[in-house]
Structure 1
Amino acid sequence: MRVLFVNPQGNFDQQDSHLTEHPDFGGQLVYVKEVSMALAQLGVDVDIVTRRIDDPDWPEFSEPVDYYTGYEDHLHIVRISCGGPNFLNKERLWEHLNEFAENILKFYGDDLPDFATGHYGDGGYSCVLLKQKVGIGFTLTGHSLGAQKLDKLGTSCENFAQMEQHYQFAKRITAERLSMEQAYKIITSTGQERMEQYAHPLYQGAVDVKDDAKFAVIPPGVNTRIFTTRPAADDETIHRKIADKLCTYETKPCVVVSSRFDEKKNHLGAVKAYALSKELQDKANLGIFIRGIDDPFSELERLPKKDQKIMRPLLAIIEQQQLKDKVFFLNIQSQKELASTYRYFAKLGSVFTLTAFYEPFGLAPIEAAACGLAVAATKNGGPSEIFEDGSGILVDPFDPKDMARGFLKGIDEAATYARLGEQRVKTTYTWENTAKSYLKIIAAGAQTTHTSGFVLPALEDHERLLTYLATRS
């Protein structure tokens, strides 16, 4: 069986070049790579189909066919040309996806794949085009949806033209609707994602969130090659570096804050919670993981403007509450370094915290749990399902007192929650489990006849979006 993982945006290579350093090289690329690798280990032939880039500024992605070392027999990266040779942001890809689909079919010729999975709206729409042309069935994994982004960015009738010019919402949401309609199944990470994101008014008529036959909840996994309690070869070096950095701090457990700098991640709430509790300050330090600088007090201007905006209130509280001897920042450069750092603080009986106002899934908490950290995470979103068995502590991200309570519970019962969290990851959140669940759906979908030749509308449904925006004003 040959399966395509269709992901036009970003790109893939052996070195994971530009991963997390560009908006189009985010978590979905990790997801696609890991599920593909796990399926390959199960003996399935998988092609990650993405866009070929022959651009001197992006030299890693010019070869038509590539691979990951150790997976050459069953997994390939297939790069398909469309829209010219240069790198294009995902918002500029929509008009080139028909060419992308046509060139996919030219690449495979008579040896068509058995099934496909589309990732993000552009991958889903590419699969719609493949189904229309030759009847290849597919699943849709949306990862994030355009309607929620449209809302989050404050789009209105007044600013719609400006927002549309940049974000191409009409194309994206129309493509998502068509992908939902035509998909054999829609795969979500949690039941909450299904019931909340896909129930958005802009998707009404394209999908019924109450239709159990249309959806499958498949949680992502953890890369247990990296995120594990087992020591790694470079742990000693990394741990010595951390110890040297923290030599002036009292040795005690730590409240670990490790997520990308984004206002919705609510770093400010975590710092307020720590500053509020003298008991928590006595029992634990606060460690905030950042990227790119070592000391934000002296290097703040080196951060991107949006990160500076988030960081300034944190520094103000730390100084006002005289917490500089209890709060530190660590510059973490890679996933391997992150996992090693988690193991260092797990030995001290620390707690990992995620205080996002809303977290669609919550991969970071289970990565931390896999490394032996107790977890206290937002009750809003995916963590409420991940830790529904009591293996983690849930907190209210809008209530600093409740966050402080959860942090203290994690410190006081670190050994218990570390054991429960690691067990939860091993039994539920591995990429092997994710791949096996995918394979069941793929196998059934490959045996199903999928109708081709249907008529597709243009990706220009501005009227639907303007009608929706008018109802909100």
Structure 2
Amino acid sequence: MHISLHGLVRGTELELGRDADTGGQIQYVLELVRALAGHDNVARVDLLTRRIHDRRIAPDYAEPQEPLDAAGKARIVRIPFGPRRYLRKEKLWPYLDCFVDLALRHVRDVGRVPDVIHAHYADAGLAGARLAALLGVPFVFTGHSLGREKRRRLLDQGQDAATIDERYAFGPRIEAEERSLDMASLIIASTQQEVEQQYAQYARRSGARIAVVPPGVDLSRFHPPSRSRSHKSAYRATVERFLRHPSRPWILALARADERKNLASLLRAYGEHPSLRTQANLVLIAGNREHLAQLDRGARTVWRELIELIDDYDLYGHVAYPKQHSPDDVPDLYRLAAASGGVFVNPALTEPFGLTLIEAAASGLPLIATDDGGPQEILRHCRNGRLIDPLDIEGIGTTLATALSDRARWKRWAQRGLRGVAQHYTWHGHATQYLRELERLVARNRRRPRSPRKSRLPTADRMLICDIDNTLLGNPEGLKRLIATLHQAGDQLAFGIATGRRLDSAVRVLKEWDVPAPDVLITAVGSEIHYGPTQTEDDEWPRHLDFRWDRQSVLDTLAEVPGLRLQPGSEQRAHKISYFADPQRPPDLDDLRRRLRERGAHVNVIYSHDAYLDILPIRASKGLAVRFVADRWGIDIDRVLVAGDSGNDTEMLSGHSLAVVVGNYSHELEHLRQRKRVYFASGHCAAGVLEGIEHYDFLGTIRQPQYD
């Protein structure tokens, strides 16, 4: 299972460059999925993305599934999480829990668990790590473009930290990357530079392997020009109508209209060099546009700057900047540039890999590329061009002029590029190496058993899960009515508790309040699961939580933090370490996570009631435990109602389950008020739970709130 959530994903006519979210990552994932489907030992490949209903985009993106190969082994599966309309990636974060829940439903519909989950970019990484944890399968992560490096580059340009953090959501993005790296069994990188300079910036101290597997190129689409084909290309006229001397070589740039692609610096270099405009034409292919005003803010800003620079340098007749191109035009563009004796240039500020570089090389086009990431290794393998400093305007211009001045060298570069791509960058070779890495993971992964236990859980088609203190308990009259409701519901309703208490404490207090024995007991803040009146332990959950759990490392690290005091030994559990926190000196949770990661501790940090701090394994929480139980017993997550009152219930209350926050809730939950599937009751404790049952008609047909 591959997961790539943002942008626009379909199998044909990719809208690459339409916006900042629809770029090379999408093409990479699609090509990889197709290449994997071509291998005999791959039975099925699902690419999960987001289903979108929006009049501004094609209806293709609303189709639930789309086949990607003739044999039916590969398909796009679109999951309808969050609002129906198209959203840029920075707006997707609140809905990732919903994606996880609905992806679990897809797995149940398929009827088999994927052997491996591979997530692409930070948003899919966060969701994919949780999904893999719930299913107990290996998790593979590819960052594509890492937040710390991108943030560093923007700061180096002199941009304001607060502004870029707000615009690009670097806070949640970097935290998502950290969590993805915490959970990953394997990281797939495209270049060694990514490993040494980008992933090295993170606090990852895990046992995850990093495999460098360069992407490939489709050699049936990208190949050198023949004289007849290059002259018949329909796109030639689209470009040449801009140019006063159309026979001159092309300096071709193909990128999104994104300030990080640094196209303005390329234009300045071209305009300021004394001879470039007489040596060559500049061809800028920067996405598709109809009207500038209709572009998103970032693309609109880039295009306005480019047009102003063309005017300032008086480059009319020397620069082509077509408004439209299709995916089928891209191979022709490379071949037209090669036939003209031109070069391909990538001046990006940072470039994790650069698929356009190997596409251009496969088309016989020499390269001028940024001295960063992927271009460094591509040019080392292919020896077909020069690297540039993307901030050195004069240097860019000089390198371009020099590259175009020696025809014999140009031919050597073109031939080297063709040989280098054939040797190092084919999709068949990529998929073969990739599968060797995955087979090592699958061989040592243990599937968890799914045999049923004696319980009402196998017969139930819905489940109520309540926190205990101040949610289930605290209102005697409300509890009496809730217990009567549970009895009336019969076997269709499974009842469970999810609490921070240890098991014996939970059982004791439930007996004191005459609460019937729950079908499932999730205790110790989600670190323990037991079933039924006999309190049978879920024997798979502890093994599930052992993943990278280093108890001593947590204790050693937090011993240095002022304001924290260990709770009594009775509150400590095999997979939970609990502290009292001084309310006068509340802990800095971001600092705690950083300290723990730097010491190699991969954990969940949960703070509640402004007084209690619980440290759990990375795979443990109330929310994950609830989903583990629902998945194990085949209960759809949208038929699970969870009730809580405090911060340690946050994850449990998020996602595609139904949720009720009781009236006496802690302020830590206020941020959930706008969630469509979270109901804030006015009744306190059990009376609020009953109110939630009635609000959702949970014992009837069940009302499912929908996003607009």
TM-score (norm 2): 0.56
Give the CA deviation at 1:214.
1.8
Q: Which moved more, 1:371-380 or 1:242-251?
A: 242-251
Deviations 1:412-453 (A, max 9, x none): 122111111122122112222222222111111111226624
User: Aligned equivalents of 1:286 and 1:22: distance in 2?
Assistant: 22
Give the CA deviation at 1:194.
1.7
Structure 2 residue identity aligned to 1:227: F
Give the CA deviation at 1:219.
1.6
Give the CA deviation at 1:88.
4.2
Give the CA deviation at 1:332.
4.7
- Aligned partner of 2:434 in structure 1 is 438
Structure 2 residue identity aligned to 1:39: L
- Aligned partner of 1:187 in structure 2 is 188
Give the CA deviation at 1:340.
0.8
User: Aligned equivalents of 2:354 and 2:173: distance in 1?
Assistant: 24
Decide whether aligned partners of structure 1 residues 186 and 302 sit closer, same or farther in structure 2, where only a CA change above 3 A counts: closer
User: Aligned equivalents of 1:327 and 1:285: distance in 2?
Assistant: 6
The SS at the match of 1:192 is helix
- Tell me, yes or no, if structure 1 residue 123 matches structure 2 residue 120: no
Structure 2: stretches of 5+ with no match in the other structure: 447-542, 547-574, 578-587, 596-708
Q: Which has the higher contact order (CA 8 A, sep 6+)?
A: 1
- Tell me, yes or no, if structure 1 residue 133 matches structure 2 residue 225: no
Q: Which moved more, 1:345-354 or 1:83-92?
A: 83-92
Asked if the contact 1:268–1:313 (Cα under 8 Å) also holds between the matched residues in 2, the reply is: no
Asked if the contact 2:51–2:64 (Cα under 8 Å) also holds between the matched residues in 1, the reply is: yes
User: Aligned equivalents of 2:56 and 2:292: distance in 1?
Assistant: 28
- Aligned partner of 1:471 in structure 2 is none
Give the CA deviation at 1:86.
4.5
The 5-angstrom pairing of residues 41-440 of structure 1 reads 41-43=38-40, 44=42, 45-54=44-53, 59-68=59-68, 70-83=69-82, 85-109=84-108, 110-151=111-152, 167-200=168-201, 203-204=202-203, 206-207=204-205, 214-229=209-224, 236-238=232-234, 241-242=237-238, 245=241, 248-249=244-245, 251-292=247-288, 305-312=300-307, 314-319=309-314, 323-389=315-381, 390-411=383-404, 412=406, 413-440=409-436
Decide whether aligned partners of structure 1 residues 465 and 278 sit closer, same or farther in structure 2, where only a CA change above 3 A counts: farther
The SS at the match of 2:411 is helix
Asked if the contact 1:170–1:465 (Cα under 8 Å) also holds between the matched residues in 2, the reply is: no
User: Aligned equivalents of 1:35 and 1:118: distance in 2?
Assistant: 13
Give the CA deviation at 1:164.
6.6
Decide whether aligned partners of structure 1 residues 185 and 284 sit closer, same or farther in structure 2, where only a CA change above 3 A counts: same
Asked if the contact 2:20–2:256 (Cα under 8 Å) also holds between the matched residues in 1, the reply is: no
Give the CA deviation at 1:189.
1.4
Q: Which moved more, 1:85-94 or 1:110-119?
A: 85-94
Decide whether aligned partners of structure 1 residues 207 and 312 sit closer, same or farther in structure 2, where only a CA change above 3 A counts: farther
Give the CA deviation at 1:382.
2.0
How many residue pairs match? The answer is 447
User: Aligned equivalents of 1:102 and 1:243: distance in 2?
Assistant: 48
Asked if the contact 2:216–2:430 (Cα under 8 Å) also holds between the matched residues in 1, the reply is: yes
Structure 1 residue identity aligned to 2:321: F
The SS at the match of 2:305 is helix
Asked if the contact 1:105–1:112 (Cα under 8 Å) also holds between the matched residues in 2, the reply is: no
The SS at the match of 1:186 is strand
The SS at the match of 2:269 is helix
Give the CA deviation at 1:75.
0.3
Decide whether aligned partners of structure 1 residues 53 and 291 sit closer, same or farther in structure 2, where only a CA change above 3 A counts: closer
Structure 1: stretches of 5+ with no match in the other structure: 469-473
Decide whether aligned partners of structure 1 residues 159 and 378 sit closer, same or farther in structure 2, where only a CA change above 3 A counts: closer
Decide whether aligned partners of structure 1 residues 465 and 169 sit closer, same or farther in structure 2, where only a CA change above 3 A counts: farther
The SS at the match of 2:33 is helix
The SS at the match of 2:396 is helix
Give the CA deviation at 1:117.
0.6
Q: Which moved more, 1:425-434 or 1:54-63?
A: 54-63
Asked if the contact 2:236–2:336 (Cα under 8 Å) also holds between the matched residues in 1, the reply is: no
Decide whether aligned partners of structure 1 residues 239 and 47 sit closer, same or farther in structure 2, where only a CA change above 3 A counts: closer
Structure 2 residue identity aligned to 1:365: L
Give the CA deviation at 1:384.
1.4
Structure 2 residue identity aligned to 1:402: G
User: Aligned equivalents of 2:164 and 2:286: distance in 1?
Assistant: 30
- Percent identity over paired residues: 32
- Aligned partner of 1:27 in structure 2 is 24
Asked if the contact 1:187–1:216 (Cα under 8 Å) also holds between the matched residues in 2, the reply is: yes
Give the CA deviation at 1:292.
4.7
User: Aligned equivalents of 1:364 and 1:191: distance in 2?
Assistant: 19
The SS at the match of 2:345 is strand
